[in-house]
Amino acid sequence: MEYSNLRRQAAYMKKSLFDQGYLDEQFYQLEELQDDVSPNFVEEVVTLFFRDSARLISNIEQALDKCPQEFSKLNAFVHQLKGSTSSIGASRLKNECTRFRDYCDEENLEGCLKSFQKLKREHAVLRQKLESYFQLLRQVGPVEKATRPSM
Amino acid sequence: MATSSSSTGVDKLKNKLRALVVDDNRMIRLYMVSLLKKANVEAEVAEDGKAAVNCFLQGKTYDIILMDKDMPQMDGVQATRILREMGVKTKIVGVTSHSTEEEKREFLEAGLDDFFVKPLTSPQLIELLKDVGNK
């Protein structure tokens, strides 16, 4: 009974992440690569993502603090971040990276600063939500497989 | 530095395609290697263009190279150009985050056979591998 409830909670949590636009189709691609040989593949990839993206966000913060700003350097950092966000299906974060890059192209510092604050918030929220999701999955165990919601 | 993933039997190895994943992002390397493994392709990785070129200088051969564009030390454009100048005929596919048309053209002109925006998906990979196996 408890196990079924946990499974339902995990499924609901994942559905919410998709419904609220935090994740997109690419996350399913990751899940499809998870198997008995790599049972924690998705969590491993996501953990790596947050480790690398935290470093990139720190680099962006330092670059924004410099005067005058090096917009091409900023753009390069965000470009890297965008590539990673796309690869795990972090949709909202990816969209914010796109907006940030647009501000970089315009050399709009105010826009960059506003966008960066939003990017950091999205990053923190996604991290917290995915950590909760994986924590729940660990309780459910290896039975939870990739399932797309029925149309 | 290039490293190999594990194989699963001599018979499979004989027919297995070999890929080189060139990307400075370890998360993306992990993703691509897993994607290739699922398609029964043996994958090695290189952290940048220079490491990729070194693989060929060491006499290694591959059926396909998945090349990122923006990398430190040596980017994908330069690495592709050098590989073609070395006479490497292997299929080279650029896999990169969104680029401008000019950047894409520069990458293609360096010697790419194809170009995809990240992330590469399973159906896209299967399509790419179709004609690689026939060469």
Measured CA to CA, the distance from residue A93 to residue B58 in angstroms comes to 40
Chains A and B form CB pairs within 8 A to the count of: 52
Residue A2 pLDDT > 90, yes or no? no
Taking an 8 Å cut-off on Cβ atoms, the answer to whether A84 and B122 are in contact is no
Q: Which of B28, B38, B121 is closest, CB to CB, to A83?
A: B28
Give B39-66 pLDDT, tens digit per residue: 999 999 999 999 999 999 999 999 999 9
Taking an 8 Å cut-off on Cβ atoms, the answer to whether B28 and A33 are in contact is no
Taking an 8 Å cut-off on Cβ atoms, the answer to whether B70 and A52 are in contact is no
Give A5-61 pLDDT, tens digit per residue: 989 999 999 999 999 999 999 999 999 999 988 999 999 999 999 999 999 999 999
Segments making up each domain of chain B, as ranges? 14-133
Residues of A in contact with B26 (CB under 8 A): 48, 52
Beta strands in B14-133 (DSSP E): 17-22, 41-46, 64-67, 91-96, 114-117
Q: Return the pLDDT at B37.
A: 94
Count of helices and strands (H, E) across chain A: 6, 0
Residue in A closest to B30 by C-alpha: A45
Q: Which of A48, A49, A83 is closest, CB to CB, to B97?
A: A83
Measured CA to CA, the distance from residue A20 to residue A13 in angstroms comes to 11
User: Which CATH superfamily, name and number, covers B14-133?
Assistant: Response regulator (3.40.50.2300)
Q: How far is A33 from chain B (nearest CA, A)?
A: 6
Nearest alpha carbon to residue B114 among B83, B92, B98: B92
pLDDT-derived band at B99 (thresholds 50, 70, 90) equals confident
ipTM: 0.84
Q: Which of A48, A80, A82 is closest, CB to CB, to B26?
A: A48
Taking an 8 Å cut-off on Cβ atoms, the answer to whether A33 and B97 are in contact is no
Q: Is the peptide bond before A39 cis (omega within 30 degrees of 0)?
A: no
Measured CA to CA, the distance from residue B22 to residue A146 in angstroms comes to 28
Q: How far is B20 from chain A (nearest CA, A)?
A: 18
